[in-house]
Structure 1
Amino acid sequence: MPQAVLDSPFGQMIMPALSRQIHANKRGGGILGIEQQTPGSSVKPQSQLHHPLAKVHVVSNLAQLDELLAKFQKSCAVIFFTSATCPPCKTLYPVYDDLAGEVGDKGVLIKVDTSQAFDVGSRFSISATPTFITFLKGQQENRWSGADPSALRGNVQLLVQMAWPPHPHQALNLPTFSNPNAEPVIFTKVPPLSKLLAKMGSTASDPAVQSIKTFIETRSSDGPAEATLPDIAAFTAIIRDSISTLPTDLLFTIVDLLRISLIDPRVSGYLAEEPSHRTVTAILAHVTGLPPKDCPYALRLVTLQMACNLFTSPLYPDQILGHPELRRLVTTLVSTSFLDGGHSSVRVAAASLLFNVALANSRRRRDGPGDVLPEEEQVELAASVLEAITQEEGSAEALEGMLLALGYLAYRMPLEGELADLLRAMEAGGLVLAKGRGLGGCDW
């Protein structure tokens, strides 16, 4: 949790309660009001989920097998023992390949040719093929032989259900959080570009900046199909240079130009694959490294909005959730921006960025194999947004964004984890219900 949060009155208030509750025995009760079945509510029909592409893993020795089993020891695994001289085995290959696609990241399907991997066959005493062995949470769960496609499919599907039982939240009628088509918040407004560039000084005359200006104008007037991508590498180099060459109070201009460019998924997709995310991390590191009183309002606001617009590309959510340095900087930016009591627009943008992060992580919970956002950072973000919710009095838009972001953090979370402990300790359910009564259209 950021020191700024810990040093605040809210931080001082929660520390004793956290010390008592974290790692204490879990107690029952609702968290955010979404654990208790409400009278008259019904199970929400689950939409057909797209199965992520996955493949059967072929292993040829014990070392490879042990590595895979260790990787999936918290979920499930299937080993298909086959051999080159087994015709019945080959009839099951298409079924096994299809099952790998259905299982996706929720488990691993392994194929072992016993005529080559003698050490594997010996360990499991394989005397006939096809033979199947399943593992659940790191322990052998079942074993059978025979070329029965129905038995194979049924056993594998049952294994996955045991490894990933339905979450209690799925039995509640929560259309906001169960909606598979929820979209991230994107800031699409384009300001007068001539005025924006006029504030940059000599930087505005750089060919890379001018090409971005032309790209944005063409895209706005004629549509994305008519807008030829500019030299993004040259533009990002100008951005990194501007961090040290532009005055701090004018740096927002080049960041805002990047924000507008990111509306196009081709630009955000390019940055998603940039080595070490060097442009985005340079901006975030600079902004989060400034003392709050020295960070201009405009710079913090457009940086938050720029980070939101990274989500226009389907490539970027996994990068933000999975890249440690980028994730840390986004978390710090959100947490510190919630403390800006003087600018509701900053708090709205911070809530929007947290919403995008929480939504992306919630989708991974839904599709499996589970959270990508580490639990300690979920706890940090939840503590920050809870403080912001308690203090928010001036902006209904900011409050709604905070409540939605917190809801996505909590929806289908592990009920025996540290995030659940925090929410119980802070009695978040009562706080959310009290604050959310004036808001319509949400699952409060």
Structure 2
Amino acid sequence: MEVQLYVYDLSKGLARSMSQQFLGTQIDAVYHTSLVFDGIEYFYGQGIQTCAAGSTHHGKPMEVIRMGETALPMEIILEYLESLKEVYTAEAYDLFLHNCNNFSNDFAMFLVGKGIPEHITSLPQTVLNTPFGQMLRPQIDAAMRPITQAPVAQQASAPTRPYGTNGTASQTGGAPQLTPEAKITGAVNNVTALRDIERLLQSATDRCAIIFFTSSTCAPCKLVYQPYDDLAAESGDKCVFIKIDLNYAEKAVGVRFSSVRATPTFVTFLRGQQRDVWSGADPNQLRNNVELLLTAAFPPHPHLSRNVPTLIRQSQRPISFTKVPPLEKLVAKMGDVGKDPAVSAIVSFIDARQRFGAMEAPLTNLPQFAEFLRKSITTLPPDLLFVSLDLLRVTLTDIRVAGFFAEEHAGATGTPATVAALLNHVNGLGASAPYPLRLTTLHLCCNLFNSSLFIPHLLSPPLSSTLVQILTTALLDEKHPALRASALSLAMNISSSNHKIRMKKHSANASPSLPSEVELDDSEQVELLASLLEILSTEGAEFSETQKMALISTGWLVYCADMDGELRDLWKVMDAAGTVGKIQGKTGEDRLLVREVKSLLEI
């Protein structure tokens, strides 16, 4: 998709003609910007707002700048946009420090890998650098706020055409009128045509379906209308519910279902094959038969019958390492390498964010910082490389930075380039890597899990393999307890994220995961579990925090795992239940946790 920057002049030409007189310096416009792609305009005012391109109350843009192309999937873009709402709230808007241009700059950096023109982002500081600018700041802010934070006008039914790069209305393109595909699950589909029935049944070949034959003159049928609707809502994506009124259905429907001679009649299908037929307006019978159908289509995992409340209520928030080190001392360690402009810029960003918060810390040039990080592999010796990784670790606590580095790759999919380069380098050094570098790398890896955009990459090859190797090498390092503790934090983040994706298949309204949401490869889960069991078997008799973290990670990793998979083969061969059973918990809750994880491993 092409990404465009719409540039507006909020002063409507007054800034160009009067700025020299009032401020003592010439400015060409009071800039308002927005990003436009796929016919939609995105901007910041009353929070993050959208409208059809070119239809804001600002009128015609004074300039349209082509920013570049993005191949990122729309679901990734929207997920990143959702995360920005924490920073760009309506209350946080500030004309001089936190405005629409900051939003456009951050969003553009994520979409196309570069910010918007500097003369736009630097304008507020240009004004504030003048004596009159400082004096008039409250008046300027008060005058502009009703304009910048005006509500979006209600859109007309016809899409508004976006403007071309010359500022004129474009003759091609526009806000697309999207017709969403009819939702076939989670609600009853009322149909009368045979082709629609066949289409719905075809959509259920990987699940189940039920047809309710009724008629407008059937009084008993009305007794099961509401229960049928309720079951459709409860079943979610697992089952397709169809209702056919035979008084209005095509004759071909009667031929196709010639065995239906009375109403109400119900016919069920399991993975495309007809299963059961029954008649009668009994809501209890209907519910029981639907539950049996769902059980046949989605057999429950044996772990779901086990009571494991202690394991389930363990916090699954990612463990992160957010402490900011003394930045001046850290940079000084790099010598001349630390004089790179990218380092100065990122240190200023970290300092501003730490002192004033994310809302008053505009993003720096992240592509420049990424290039510095990749070069640092060769410009810094191994014993000092931890410094550049530590700068990245700290900045990853900002959702905007994490989003940029998560999707910093060519094309719609791929491995985050800078993070992959750094982790591959450290992994190549293995156990010979200096201790500070290994520890910082583990902390950096933990912080990657703070962004949901990173997780699909972290659980997929090749990054998942690198991550597991770094983790298992540290887990088995008996000389450095801090390394082992940090590795267990990473193990908890990995197993928790893996568990969340797996459990989507077993939720009440199970739905197919997104293509990018996949569990760790079986071989990597096996490698991780083997290392965790090694920890559990070699720790001392006294229950420690290390044992608890390994135990929780083990529980999440095995819960609802494939009963015919390699992971279960491993825990059986290694007698994992016996290993866990020997652990003596200190408190009652610890002992319950041991008992619950052991019960999962006994299956």
TM-score range, shorter chain: 0.5 to 0.7
Which structure has the highest helix share of the two? 1
- Find out whether 1:354 has 2:491 as its counterpart: yes
Q: Does 1:269 align with 2:403?
A: yes
Count of residues paired in the alignment: 368
- 1:414 match: 562
Give the equivalent residue in structure 2 for 1:379.
526
- Which shifted more, 248-257 or 258-267? 258-267
Q: Which residue of 2 aligns with 1:288?
A: 427
- Could you tell me which amino acid in structure 2 is paired with residue 251 of structure 1? L
SS of the residue 1:229 aligns to: coil
Query: Which residue of the other structure, out of 412, 422, 440, is the alignment partner of 1:302?
Result: 440
The one of 502, 505, 511 aligned to 1:368: 505
For 1:214 and 1:306, how far apart are their aligned partners in 2?
Answer: 20
Give the letter for the 1:415 counterpart.
Answer: M
- AA of the residue aligned to 1:278: A
The TM-score, its normalising length taken from structure 2, stands at: 0.51
Amino acid at match of 2:407: E
CA 434–318 in structure 1, closer or farther in 2 if over 3 Å, else same:
same
Bigger Cα displacement from structure 2, 386-395 vs 204-213: 386-395
Shift of 1:144: 9.2
- 8 A Cα contact 1:215 1:230, kept in partner: yes
Cα shift at 1:108: 7.5
1:330 to 447, 450, 467: 467
Q: Displacement of 1:228 after TM fit?
A: 1.9
User: 2:292 and 2:298 mapped to 1: Cα distance?
Assistant: 10
Deviation at 1:204, TM superposition (A): 2.1
CA separation of 1:361/1:159 partners in 2, compared to 1, >3 Å: closer, same or farther?
A: farther
1:400 to 540, 548, 559: 548
Cα offset, 1:329, TM superposition: 1.2
Who is 2:580 aligned against?
432
Instruction: Select the residue among 209, 215, 219 that pairs with 2:349.
Output: 215
| Conserved? CA contact 2:537–2:579, under 8 Å | yes
Letter in 2 for 1:317: I
Instruction: Report the counterpart of residue 253 of structure 1 in structure 2.
Output: 387
Q: Note closer, same or farther for the CA distance 1:110–1:304 as it changes in structure 2 (3 Å cut).
A: farther
* Local SS of the residue matching 1:324: coil
1:423 CA displacement? 1.1
Larger Rg: 2
Which AA in structure 1 matches 2:557?
A: L
What SS does structure 2 have at the residue aligned with 1:284?
helix
* Counterpart residue number, 2:4: none
1:20 corresponding residue in structure 2: none
**Cross-structure match for 2:151:** none
Query: Match for residue 237 of structure 1?
Result: 371
CA offsets, 1:139-161, max 9 Å, x none?
5546799xxx9999987766444
Letter in structure 2 aligned against 1:329: T
Q: Distance in 1 between matches of 2:524 and 2:272?
A: 27
Q: Aligned equivalents of 1:270 and 1:411: distance in 2?
A: 33
CA distance in 2, matches of 1:243, 1:101: 54
Give how far 1:404 is off.
Answer: 1.6
Q: CA 1:440–1:223 in 2, change beyond 3 Å: closer, same or farther?
A: farther
Aligned to 1:317: 455
Separation of aligned partners in 1, 2:548 and 2:379: 38
The residue type paired with residue 362 of structure 1 is H
Give the drift of 1:308.
0.8
Greater fraction of residues in strand: 2
Query: Secondary structure of the residue that 1:421 maps to in structure 2?
Result: helix
Shift of the 264–140 alpha-carbon distance from structure 1 to 2, 3 Å rule, reads: farther
**Alpha-carbon spacing, 1:180–1:298, altered in 2? closer, same or farther (3 Å):** closer
Q: Any idea what the Cα deviations from partners look like across 1:417-444, whole Å, max 9, x if unmatched?
A: 3212211221112212323524774411
CA distance in 2, matches of 1:98, 1:234: 55
CA distance in structure 2 between the aligned counterparts of 1:227 and 1:152, rounded to whole angstroms: 59
The letter for the 2-side match of 1:225 is M
User: Per-residue CA shift, 1:300-339, capped at 9, x if unaligned?
Assistant: 1111111111111122223322x32111111211122222
Query: Deviations 1:27-67 (Å, cap 9, x if unpaired)?
Result: xxxxxxxxxxxxxxxxxxxxxxxxxxx9549999x99998x
Contact 2:377 2:422 in 1 (8 A): yes
Change (3 A) 1:165 1:299: same
Q: CA deviation at 1:345?
A: 1.1
1:414 is paired with a residue whose SS is coil
> Taking structure 1 as reference, are residues 184 and 164 closer, same or farther at Cα in structure 2, changes over 3 Å only?
farther
Kept in 1, the 8 Å contact 2:430–2:473? The answer is no
Distance 1:207 1:417, change over 3 A: same
The letter for the 2-side match of 1:214 is: S
- Structure 1 residue identity aligned to 2:482: S
Taking a change above 3 Å as real, the CA distance of residues 424 and 238 of structure 1, as seen in their structure-2 partners, is same
Name which of 470, 473, 482 aligns with 1:345. Answer: 482
Residue pair 2:184, 2:200 contacting (<8 A) in 1 also: no
Query: 1 CA distance for matches of 2:307 and 2:348?
Result: 48
1:205-242 residue CA offsets vs partner (Å, 9 max, x unmatched):
22222222122222222222222222222211211111
Shift of the alpha carbon at 1:261? 1.0
- Contact persistence 2:201–2:209 (CA under 8 A): no
2:325 alignment partner in structure 1? 191
In the superposition, relative to structure 1, how do residues 195 and 150 fare at CA in structure 2: closer, same or farther (>3 Å)? farther
Question: CA-atom RMSD, angstroms?
Answer: 4.4
Return the alpha-carbon distance in structure 2 between the equivalents of residues 331 and 64 of structure 1: 43
**Conserved? CA contact 1:344–1:398, under 8 Å:** no
